[in-house]
Structure 1
Amino acid sequence: MSSENSTGSGWQNSLTWAQENIDAAGGINGKNIEFVYADLGKEDAKAAAQRLLDDPSIVAVIGPDSSSIMFNIAPDFIKKKKVLISPAATSADIFRAFAGKKFIWRTVESDIAQMRSLLLTASQKNFHTAALIVSDDSYGATFFDWFGFFTTELSIKPTGIVRYDQSKTSCEDSMVEALLGNPEVLFAAPSDFNTAICMIKYMKKLRGNTKLLFTDGGVINSIPATLGADAENIEGIGLTFDPLSGFGYAYIKKFGIDPFSDYAYAANLYDAVLLIAYGLQRSDGKGGEDLADAMIKVVSGRGEKTIWDADGVRETLTLLQKGEEPDITGATGPLDFDSQKQTDVTSSTYCLWKIIGHQYICQEFIYSGYNKAGTISSDLSIFNTIASQGKKQDLSSTGTVFNPPAKTGLWAIILSTSTDWDNYRHQADALAVYSRLKKNGLTDDKIILMINDDLANNQLNPKPGEIYNSVGGPNLYQNVEVDYNPINLAPQDLYDILSGKSSDYLSKVLKSKESDNILFFIVGHGEANGADFNQSILDPQDFTETLNTMYDNKMYRRMFIEVETCFGGIMGENLNAPGVILFAGANPWENSLADNYSHELDAWLTDKFAYSMVTMMESKPDMSLNELYEKLYLQVNGSHVSVFNNQAFGDLKAINLREFITP
Structure 2
Amino acid sequence: NKEWTEHTVAVVLPMENGLDSHWKRTLGMFATNFERAFKNQDKGIRLNFEYYDESTADIPKLAKDLAFRDDIYAVIGGLYSSNAEELAAGLTPAGKTYFTLATAEQLIRAYASTGYLWAMTETDITQCEVLLSKVINYGGKSVALLAKDNDAYGQTFLDWFAFQSKELGLENKGVFAYDNTTLADMARQAMQSGAEYVVCVPSEIEEIGPMLQISEIQPRDGTSRPRLLFSDTAYGIDVLTVYGDITEGIEGVAFGADPESGFDVSYKTFFDDASTVGEAQLYDAAMLIGYAAWLRLLEPEVPLQKALRRIVSGEDLNMGSWTGEDMGLVVDALSRGASPYVKGASGHLRFDSKVFTNVLATTYHNFKVYNGIYIILDYNTSDGGNRTEATLAGWNWKASQMQDFNDSGDITYPEHKSNWALLMASSSGWSNYRHQADVLAIYQQLKESGYTDDHIVLIVEDDIARNPSNPNNGVIRVTPNGDNVYEGAKIDYRTSSLRLKDIADILTGEKSDYLPEVIEASENDNIFIFWSGHGMPGAMCWNEDYYAVTGDVLAPVFMKMHQNKCYRKLLMMVEACYSGGVLEKCEGVPGMLFITAASGNETSKADVFNSDMKIWMSNRFT
Instruction: Give the Å deviation of 1:221.
Output: 4.1
Q: Secondary structure of 1:556's partner?
A: coil
Q: Secondary structure of 1:206's partner?
A: coil
Q: Say if 1:89 and 1:108, in contact at 8 Å, map to a contact too.
A: yes
**Structure 1 residues 336 and 12: CA distance shift in structure 2, 3 A:** same
Taking the TM superposition and a 5 Å limit, the aligned residue runs for 1:297-446 are: 297-305=310-318, 306-369=320-383, 370=388, 371-373=390-392, 393-395=403-405, 397-446=406-455
**Structure 1 residues 119 and 561: CA distance shift in structure 2, 3 A:** same
Instruction: Give the Å deviation of 1:157.
Output: 1.9
Amino acid at match of 2:229: L
Choose from 66, 88, 107 the match for 1:74. 88
Amino acid at match of 1:183: A
Paired residue for 1:64? 78
Paired residue for 1:653? none
Instruction: Give the Å deviation of 1:255.
Output: 1.4
Paired residue for 1:588? 600
Q: Secondary structure of 1:13's partner?
A: helix
Distance (Å, rounded) in 2 between the aligned partners of 1:220 and 1:66: 13
Deviations 1:255-314 (A, max 9, x none): 12100xxx3100000000111111122222678962211211111112222211121112
Paired residue for 1:131? 144
Instruction: Give the Å deviation of 1:177.
Output: 3.7
Identity value in percent: 30
Instruction: Give the Å deviation of 1:484.
Output: 3.3
Q: Say if 1:468 and 1:474, in contact at 8 Å, map to a contact too.
A: yes
Q: 1:233 aligned to 2:249? A: yes
Taking the TM superposition and a 5 Å limit, the aligned residue runs for 1:239-638 are: 239-259=255-275, 263-284=276-297, 290-305=303-318, 306-369=320-383, 370=388, 371-373=390-392, 393-395=403-405, 397-502=406-511, 505-533=514-542, 534-574=545-585, 575-610=587-622
Q: Secondary structure of 2:593's partner?
A: strand
Paired residue for 1:204? 216
Q: Which moved more, 1:151-160 or 1:364-373?
A: 364-373
**Structure 1 residues 289 and 447: CA distance shift in structure 2, 3 A:** farther
**Structure 1 residues 527 and 85: CA distance shift in structure 2, 3 A:** same
Instruction: Give the Å deviation of 1:372.
Output: 4.6
Amino acid at match of 2:308: M
Scaled by the length of structure 1, what TM-score is found?
Answer: 0.83
Instruction: Give the Å deviation of 1:586.
Output: 2.8
Paired residue for 1:122? 135
Deviations 1:567-602 (A, max 9, x none): 332233241111111122333333322222222222
Instruction: Give the Å deviation of 1:510.
Output: 2.9
Amino acid at match of 1:595: D
Q: Say if 2:508 and 2:519, in contact at 8 Å, map to a contact too.
A: yes
Aligned residues: 593
**Structure 1 residues 471 and 89: CA distance shift in structure 2, 3 A:** same
**Structure 1 residues 569 and 92: CA distance shift in structure 2, 3 A:** same
Q: Say if 1:302 and 1:326, in contact at 8 Å, map to a contact too.
A: yes
Distance (Å, rounded) in 2 between the aligned partners of 1:568 and 1:65: 33
Q: Say if 1:6 and 1:220, in contact at 8 Å, map to a contact too.
A: no
Paired residue for 2:3? none
Deviations 1:545-564 (A, max 9, x none): 21111010111111111112
Paired residue for 2:8? none
Choose from 102, 127, 140 the match for 1:89. 102
Distance (Å, rounded) in 2 between the aligned partners of 1:100 and 1:430: 24
Instruction: Give the Å deviation of 1:201.
Output: 0.6
Q: Which moved more, 1:500-509 or 1:266-275?
A: 500-509
Instruction: Give the Å deviation of 1:444.
Output: 3.0
Paired residue for 2:204? 192
**Structure 1 residues 112 and 510: CA distance shift in structure 2, 3 A:** same
Q: Secondary structure of 2:431's partner?
A: helix
Instruction: Give the Å deviation of 1:75.
Output: 5.4
Kindly report the root-mean-square deviation, in angstroms, between the aligned alpha carbons of the 2 structures.
2.7
Distance (Å, rounded) in 1 between the aligned partners of 2:421 and 2:301: 50
Distance (Å, rounded) in 1 between the aligned partners of 2:515 and 2:527: 19
Q: Say if 1:59 and 1:287, in contact at 8 Å, map to a contact too.
A: no
Distance (Å, rounded) in 2 between the aligned partners of 1:287 and 1:451: 52
Instruction: Give the Å deviation of 1:203.
Output: 0.8
Q: Say if 1:153 and 1:373, in contact at 8 Å, map to a contact too.
A: no
Amino acid at match of 1:50: K
Q: Show structure 1 runs of 5+ residues with no match.
A: 377-386, 611-663
**Structure 1 residues 66 and 286: CA distance shift in structure 2, 3 A:** farther
Distance (Å, rounded) in 2 between the aligned partners of 1:205 and 1:57: 54
Q: Which moved more, 1:192-201 or 1:242-251?
A: 192-201
Instruction: Give the Å deviation of 1:8.
Output: 1.7
Instruction: Give the Å deviation of 1:504.
Output: 6.7
Q: Say if 2:78 and 2:87, in contact at 8 Å, map to a contact too.
A: no
Distance (Å, rounded) in 1 between the aligned partners of 2:97 and 2:432: 30
Distance (Å, rounded) in 1 between the aligned partners of 2:302 and 2:604: 35
**Structure 1 residues 568 and 441: CA distance shift in structure 2, 3 A:** same
Distance (Å, rounded) in 2 between the aligned partners of 1:459 and 1:68: 27
Distance (Å, rounded) in 2 between the aligned partners of 1:178 and 1:289: 53
Q: Which moved more, 1:584-593 or 1:502-511?
A: 502-511
Distance (Å, rounded) in 2 between the aligned partners of 1:160 and 1:482: 40
Paired residue for 2:5? none
Q: Secondary structure of 2:216's partner?
A: helix
**Structure 1 residues 298 and 476: CA distance shift in structure 2, 3 A:** same
Paired residue for 1:643? none
Instruction: Give the Å deviation of 1:475.
Output: 1.0
Instruction: Give the Å deviation of 1:392.
Output: 5.2
Amino acid at match of 1:349: T
Q: Which moved more, 1:185-194 or 1:433-442?
A: 433-442
Q: Say if 1:117 and 1:368, in contact at 8 Å, map to a contact too.
A: no
**Structure 1 residues 372 and 484: CA distance shift in structure 2, 3 A:** farther
Q: Secondary structure of 1:336's partner?
A: coil
Amino acid at match of 1:46: P
**Structure 1 residues 292 and 529: CA distance shift in structure 2, 3 A:** same
Instruction: Give the Å deviation of 1:92.
Output: 0.9
Paired residue for 1:218? 234
Distance (Å, rounded) in 2 between the aligned partners of 1:374 and 1:483: 51
